Amino acid sequence: MKKLLSVEGMTCNHCVMHVKNALLEVAGVESAEVDLGKKSAVVSGASFDDAALKAAVAEAGYEVVAVS
């Protein structure tokens, strides 16, 4: 399973690492690639919940505005 997230609020590479680490903590997530320029994250894994992804990013201080 692969999901593309649009993430608002990232302004630097520290933000990128913060979002990536938050996503990697979600159960079922095997990899997360975060792109500051595109304000996006691609998450891959066997099984995970969109709500859990959004919650993890929100807890890190950022906002997921779309999941596809």
Domain residue spans of the chain: 2-67
Measuring CA to CA, which residue among 51, 22, 17, 12 is closest to residue 34? Answer: 17
- pLDDT tens figures, 2-30: 999 999 999 999 999 999 999 999 999 99
- The pLDDT of residue 44 is 98
Measuring CA to CA, which residue among 1, 14, 16, 28 is closest to residue 57? Answer: 16
d(CA 68, CA 52): 14
Residue-by-residue DSSP string for 4-18? EEEEE---SHHHHHH
Domain 2-67 has CATH 3.40.1190.20: no
**Could you identify the residue written with the tokens 């891959």?**
44
